[in-house]
Amino acid sequence: MFILMIFVFGRPGRRCEMDTPQVVVMTHALSYAGPGVLAAPSRAPSNVFLCHDPAFVDEVARTQFMQQWPGVLASSASTPEALIEDALQRFSKVDKLISNDVGPALWTPLEEGEAVDLREALETMVVWPYRLLSSAALAMKERGEGRIVLVTSAAPLRPAPGFVVYASARAAASAMARAAAKELAPQGIQINAVAPNFLESAQYYPYDQWSSPQALEQLRERVPMARLGRAIEIGELILFLLSGRTDFVTGEVINFTGGWS
Q: Domain residue spans in the chain? A: 19-256
pLDDT at 11: 44
Going by C-beta distance under 8 Å and a sequence separation of 6 or more, which residues neighbour residue 19?
A: none
pTM above 0.85, yes or no: yes
* Span of 4-8, 91-95, 204-208 with lowest mean pLDDT: 4-8
| Distance, CA of 123 to CA of 103 (rounded, Å) | 9
pLDDT band, residue 8 (cuts 50/70/90):
very low
pLDDT at 45: 86
| Distance, CA of 75 to CA of 25 (rounded, Å) | 10
| Distance, CA of 177 to CA of 254 (rounded, Å) | 11
| Distance, CA of 175 to CA of 181 (rounded, Å) | 10
pLDDT at 47: 94
User: Average pLDDT, stretch 10-21?
Assistant: 53
Asked whether the predicted pLDDT for residue 3 surpasses 60, the reply is: no
59 vs 113 pLDDT, higher one: 59
How many helices, marked H, and strands, marked E, lie in the chain?
8, 7
Residues of the chain with pLDDT > 90, as a percent, come to 87
pLDDT at 113: 86
Could you report how far apart the first and last alpha carbons of the chain are, in Å?
Answer: 49
pLDDT band, residue 20 (cuts 50/70/90):
confident
Asked whether the predicted pLDDT for residue 14 surpasses 80, the reply is: no
| Distance, CA of 146 to CA of 37 (rounded, Å) | 18
pLDDT at 128: 98
| 19-256 is classed CATH 1.10.630.10 | no
pLDDT band, residue 19 (cuts 50/70/90):
low
User: Average pLDDT, stretch 93-122?
Assistant: 94
Instruction: Quote the mean pLDDT of the chain.
Output: 93
User: Average pLDDT, stretch 78-98?
Assistant: 98
| Distance, CA of 82 to CA of 52 (rounded, Å) | 10
pLDDT at 61: 99
194 bridge partner residues: 151, 254
Longest dimension (CA), the chain: 75
